[in-house]
Amino acid sequence: MSLSPPTTHPQAVAARISTRDLARAAWASSLGSALEYYDFALYSLASALVFSPLFFPGNNPATGLVLSFGTYFLGFAIRPLGGIIFGRLGDRLGRKFVLLTTVLLMGGASTLIGVLPTYNGSAADWYGTGAGILAPILLIVLRLMQGLGAGAEMAGASILMTEYAPARRRGFVASLPFLGVQMGTVAAALVYFLLLNTNQAIKITDTWLWRVPFLASVVILGVAIYIRLRLKESPTFAKLERHEQVTERPLRTLINRSGKTVLLGIGLRMAENGGSSIYQALAIAYVSSAAIGMKGPIGALSLVFAAAVGAAVVPLAGWLTDKYGRVRTYRAFAIFQLIAAFPIWYALSFGDTVLTIFVVSIGLGVGTWGMFGAQSALMCELFGSRQRYLGVSVAREGSAVIAGGIAPLIGAWLMSLAVTAEGGSAVHGAGTGAWLPIAGYLALLTAITVAATFAVPETKGRSLEDPRDAIHEEHAAQLQGS
């Protein structure tokens, strides 16, 4: 039997992607996403619940919370730099190389947080004596390492699956790595839920138990590295490399050709990234604060239920983009979040357990993660083949600073003002609590995204090998039609 000569026809390339290759890519992407969002949810929960007394003692609780969320923000602030560094490498050296590097950075940093000395130390701390100012400095360094790795991780995962996926099911298949978000969020929330219920008489910050969730990162890290080492390069990049079409200066190419596309990508993510941080970090701190006064692991439990809802909504949103279009689906979930913002935050202000779990599940699980599921194929299809990794990374992480990282910091400051104004008393319902400005901030971010959807062309079905951005392709089609 004779063998056919090598071919570079797109259909032939697609044919060489077996079901096993597709499944391996899905697992490689999902586990990396799980690790990133395990770290994300873990750090947000720790910022809200344990970092203040461990690393920023001597301050009143409100100030300590602001400082704790300040380190949370730094991880977002450095993500655009990570996106630029690893995005350039992803467009020059390939998707697989970068995905291995980023998962090592994120997982290694998270594991090391679990062995950090604290500020004062305690009998339960294996270092015996505290490290003083060195403790928060080391925490910040490791948070920056997390941010550098995360700056290109989700971009790489979504690009890999989008470039692997068959065109007619691209939206659904590309959404599968985002199930890792739910996996990571549930894992982090369950760990904290169990720890907070281990012994109600002992505070978690008085024991070594707060370290366990961070040390557990090494398990996900090991599995993710094993799978990614066996992963094939994406078909689109392999073809670019074979034809020597890989750009040597992806950043310059991005600036010259894709500036408008990057801005549109940032606009699209304002609602999703901002909503994710606001619900996962700020809402948990809000219901646990003196303003509301809820006790126990209600925040962690809310994230478990929200992630369960999100696990169903994410692939559904991807499927809807294949059926009704990327932009229309994305806009629908954004409008839902906009409409729900004020009712949800008003409901949170009552401090009711069942109501809190329900509204966080709806706000995060349906609104925010619905956009997440619709986003993967849309963002990748917006950019041309030669600057796709860098473009998606910069657009994702630019919004992460503006919308995601700073939201809990601003919200914590607003809460401290509200509690001070009320003399530390609880503020429920339609009182003068912090729920109204927080809801207004979320609505503003979401309105920006809704507006951006009207400036983005529909990308469903476009060729991923086209070096032009979608807006340039649409413009060329309009000129040809006229």
Among 22-26, 244-248, 267-271, 442-446, the range scoring the smallest mean pLDDT is 244-248
More confident of the two residues 100 and 419: 100
Tell me the mean pLDDT in the region 56-83.
74
Structure tokens at 458: 């529909």
Residue 462 lies in a domain: yes
Structure tokens at 89: 């490498």
Q: Which domain holds residue 470?
A: 18-477
pLDDT reported for residue 480:
67
Residue 391 lies in a domain: yes
CA 347-353-357 angle, 5° bins: 70
Task: Count Cβ atoms below 10 Å from residue 461 Cβ, excluding itself.
Answer: 13
The C-alpha atoms of residue 83 and residue 441 are separated, in whole angstroms, by 26
More confident of the two residues 135 and 175: 175
Residue 7 lies in a domain: no
Please determine, for residue 361, whether its predicted confidence score (pLDDT) is greater than 90.
Answer: yes
pLDDT reported for residue 9:
41
Residue 13 lies in a domain: no
Q: Which helix (H) or strand (E) holds 147?
A: helix 134-164
The CATH number assigned to the domain holding 377 equals: 1.20.1250.20
Residue 113 lies in a domain: yes
Q: Which helix (H) or strand (E) holds 80?
A: helix 79-93
Contact 215, 66 (CB under 8 A): no
Residue 4 lies in a domain: no
More confident of the two residues 248 and 106: 106
Among 81-90, 114-123, 130-139, the range scoring the smallest mean pLDDT is 114-123
Domain count of the chain?
Answer: 1
pLDDT reported for residue 325:
96
Considering the entire predicted model, what is its pTM? 0.77
pLDDT reported for residue 320:
97
Task: Count Cβ atoms below 10 Å from residue 341 Cβ, excluding itself.
Answer: 25
% of the chain exceeding 70 in pLDDT: 78
Residue 3 lies in a domain: no
Average pLDDT over all residues of the chain: 79
What confidence tens digit (pLDDT) does each residue in 178-228 have? 887 778 877 877 777 777 666 554 566 667 777 888 888 888 788 878 877
What confidence tens digit (pLDDT) does each residue in 392-421 have? 888 888 887 788 777 767 766 766 666 566
Please determine, for residue 358, whether its predicted confidence score (pLDDT) is greater than 90.
Answer: yes
Residue 335 lies in a domain: yes
The C-alpha atoms of residue 144 and residue 193 are separated, in whole angstroms, by 26
The C-alpha atoms of residue 397 and residue 260 are separated, in whole angstroms, by 16
